[in-house]
Chain A
Amino acid sequence: MRWRVARGLRANSGLLFVLPGLLIYLGFIAWPIIATFYNSFFIWDGFSPDREFIGLDHYVRLFTKDRAFRLSIRNNIYWAVITVVVLSIFGFLFAYLLNQRIRLRNAYRAALFLPVTASLVVIGFTWEFIYQPEVGLLSHTLRRYGFDHLVRVWLADPDVTIFAIIVVSLWASLGFWVVVFLAALQAVPPDLYDCAAVDGATGFRQMWHIAVPLTMGTTRALWILGLIRAINAFALVFLLSRGGPYHASEVIAYQIYEQAFRTNHTGYASALSVVLLLISAVVTIFQLLLLRGRRIQL
């Protein structure tokens, strides 16, 4: 008997290697997420011992009565669609251009890439300065060149603010997409382009029929990544507009922050978190299907 236990322990000694990381992961992530599901069924301020069970009422309210939530969903969709489409197209194009043997290649690449290394706080404050009403650089430049009718109060106009923020997000992540696409393009054998050239395919057709299909795996990974970042967008909204004016530029993650840490509606914020996690989970399942059986290349 003792012998069998010993053999069992021995056969599973690998568990000891996984255990320390697993405990931290379970303690800080798995368990709290389960607790969030549970908390979402209560009215709770986050600290007092008494809480009121209300079942699914938070979710009903979210999807039927909450205007800010509807706007958040809309803005997250804008964010996802605009960033993924624009960054796929322009990220790929610039990477394709940079993949040619041209002068100043590294300088261009570094210029595109610098925002990726900066903190979003730095990026947020810099763009807030550019977007200042009246005296800000953007408004000032537009006025100076006679485009007065285009000037807006960039960060306080309900129709404009979310797009102004998305533009910053595009600026901040373009370099990352370019560099990832560039890595994928460099793995395409150059002979293929030569063959195509011999067959008479030039410029655009070479790109469309060779480069695009051969980098599709990377493109799909970037789409997933872009979606996840769009779903979780928080920092730029917090830094540039605080979700205003009148919730017009709110996103789900910012709503969670408002509800949990500004107004102490922890139960309601938990329900929002659950919605966000469920959306992420759907994307995650896609990601896992994509990753299955593929070794990660460095």
Chain B
Amino acid sequence: MRLSLPKMLNAPLLERGAKKFRKNAVLLHGVLLSVSLIMVFPWLIAISTGLKAPGESSINRSLIPWEIALSNFSDAWRIANVPLLAFNSFIVTAASVVMILFLASLAAYGFARLTFVLKESLYLLFLAGLMLQAAAIMVPLYQVNVAFGFLDTYFALIGPYIALGLPFAILILRGFFEGLPAELEDAALIDGASRFTIYWRIMLPLTRPALATVAIFTGLGTWNDFLLPMLMTNRPHLRTMPLGLILFELEGGIGFVQHEYRFALIIMMTLPVIIVFLLLQRQFMSGLTAGAIKG
């Protein structure tokens, strides 16, 4: 907080102010620290359990493992077949995000710069989809995959992810395109460039920040989703990471739930996302903040 000049000159008042400020700071950090502890504690439990020897967590309830059992990680890696899970999650997420970015930017350019029949009605139709979440329409999504013959293929996941991701992406990208000056296109139009060329060569490169926002928001949601993989795929070789974690206890003849293995898997699943998050913190925050308008 900035102090105004007359206060600065008043020494006793300043001293009292400083003391009060210090007391406030202690209170402030006290509150923030305790909340942060509550927020971090479950992660500490996850990490400590993942490091304990199989079966230890039911006897040793302290956060510090008796011994560090790194073999949990290799066992969980093998039993859950992490490379396959990661590959599937990657394919589904990458395909969905790329398609959303392409189709949404194309449509958003049309909405922002071109005129055609029913333009605003069609835009409203897309916006209505902002409120849809997969949980509300899981029955119709399943039925449509049955009708298309997509069950047990990547398409059964990618199709719904694209359709559910378009409304938010179009909303963000239309706003961004409309913020770009129209003069950019005029020269190219005079030179006889087609509208698609203008979109692809001139406008799309300029929308990179908005594309990154959309990519992070939709990519994170797709990577973490388990509902659609659970409903639409049966075959083990299509399993994504979150689904693999849910089905983990049924596999590899563990029989009963080994918490230590499961948490080792949880650490391996969460760590990469957290690293990416820490690297791209600013983009993440802006992506998810923009996501506040999406349900």
Decide whether A and B assemble into one complex: yes
Q: How far is the CB of B97 from chain A (nearest CB, A)?
A: 14
Asked whether B129 lies within 8 Å of A97 as measured between CB atoms, the reply is: no
Docked pose: A18 CA to B178 CA in angstroms: 16
Complex partner residue of B175 from A17, A112, A296, CB under 8 angstroms: A296
State which size class the interface on B falls in. 35 or more
Q: Is A130 an interface residue (CB 8 A)?
A: yes
Docked pose: A101 CA to B21 CA in angstroms: 12
Q: How far is the CB of A157 from chain B (nearest CB, A)?
A: 21
Asked whether A179 lies within 8 Å of B245 as measured between CB atoms, the reply is: no
- Could you say which of B8-16, B70-78, B156-164, B180-188 contacts chain A? B156-164
Complex partner residue of A121 from B142, B226, B259, B277, CB under 8 angstroms: B226
- In the complex with contacts A117-B220, A121-B246, A266-B139, A13-B195 CB distance below 8 A: yes
Docked pose: A47 CA to B151 CA in angstroms: 13
Q: Is B193 an interface residue (CB 8 A)?
A: no
Interface 0/1 of B129-165, CB less than 8 Å to A: 1111101111111111010100000000001101110
Asked whether B28 lies within 8 Å of A97 as measured between CB atoms, the reply is: yes
Residues of chain A at interface, number, CB under 8 A: 103
Docked pose: A175 CA to B38 CA in angstroms: 12
- In the complex with contacts A135-B58, A298-B210, A112-B160 CB distance below 8 A: no
The residue on B at minimum CB distance from A103 is B29
Q: How far is the CB of B256 from chain A (nearest CB, A)?
A: 14
Complex partner residue of B274 from A13, A46, A114, CB under 8 angstroms: A114
Docked pose: A296 CA to B122 CA in angstroms: 19
Asked whether A261 lies within 8 Å of B29 as measured between CB atoms, the reply is: no
Interface 0/1 of A208-239, CB less than 8 Å to B: 00000000001001101100110111110001
Chain A residues 130 to 183 lying within 8 A of chain B, measured CB to CB, are 130, 135, 137, 140, 171, 174-176, 179-180, 183
Docked pose: A176 CA to B277 CA in angstroms: 14
Chain A residues 248 to 273 lying within 8 A of chain B, measured CB to CB, are 253, 256-257, 260-261, 266, 269-270, 273
Q: Is A1 an interface residue (CB 8 A)?
A: no
Docked pose: A183 CA to B28 CA in angstroms: 20
Q: Is B66 an interface residue (CB 8 A)?
A: no
Asked whether B289 lies within 8 Å of A194 as measured between CB atoms, the reply is: no
Asked whether A97 lies within 8 Å of B32 as measured between CB atoms, the reply is: yes
Q: Is B192 an interface residue (CB 8 A)?
A: no
Q: How far is the CB of A232 from chain B (nearest CB, A)?
A: 4
Q: Is B53 an interface residue (CB 8 A)?
A: no
- In the complex with contacts A22-B122, A120-B226, A137-B45 CB distance below 8 A: yes
Chain A residues 268 to 298 lying within 8 A of chain B, measured CB to CB, are 269-270, 273, 276-277, 280-281, 283-284, 287-288, 291, 295-296, 298
Docked pose: A50 CA to B39 CA in angstroms: 52
Asked whether B110 lies within 8 Å of A118 as measured between CB atoms, the reply is: no
Docked pose: A171 CA to B104 CA in angstroms: 33
Asked whether B29 lies within 8 Å of A102 as measured between CB atoms, the reply is: yes
Name the A residues within 8 Å of B196 (CB-CB). Answer: 17
Docked pose: A20 CA to B273 CA in angstroms: 31
Asked whether B110 lies within 8 Å of A17 as measured between CB atoms, the reply is: yes
Complex partner residue of B141 from A32, A171, A253, A277, CB under 8 angstroms: A32
Asked whether A107 lies within 8 Å of B61 as measured between CB atoms, the reply is: no
The 9 residue pairs across chains A and B that have the minimum distance between CB atoms: A14-B114, A17-B110, A32-B140, A228-B295, A28-B163, A119-B224, A21-B103, A111-B36, A234-B135
- Apart from the given pairs A14-B195, A119-B241, A179-B285, 19 other A-B contacts in the complex at a CB distance below 8 Å: A14-B114, A17-B195, A22-B107, A27-B144, A28-B144, A28-B159, A97-B32, A100-B1, A102-B25, A108-B33, A108-B36, A110-B278, A118-B274, A119-B226, A126-B42, A179-B289, A261-B231, A280-B132, A284-B130
- Residue contacts A-B, CB under 8 angstroms, 15 given: A14-B113, A17-B106, A18-B122, A20-B107, A21-B166, A31-B144, A108-B36, A121-B246, A127-B42, A130-B45, A137-B45, A180-B288, A239-B246, A261-B138, A281-B131
**Chain B: residues with CB nearer than 8 A to chain A?**
1-2, 4, 25, 28-29, 31-33, 35-36, 38-40, 42-43, 45-46, 49, 58, 61, 103-104, 106-107, 109-111, 113-117, 119, 122, 124-133, 135-144, 146, 148, 159-160, 162-164, 166-167, 170-172, 175-176, 178-179, 195-196, 199, 209-210, 213, 220, 223-227, 231, 241-242, 245-246, 259, 262-263, 266, 269-270, 273-274, 277-278, 281, 284-286, 288-290, 292-295
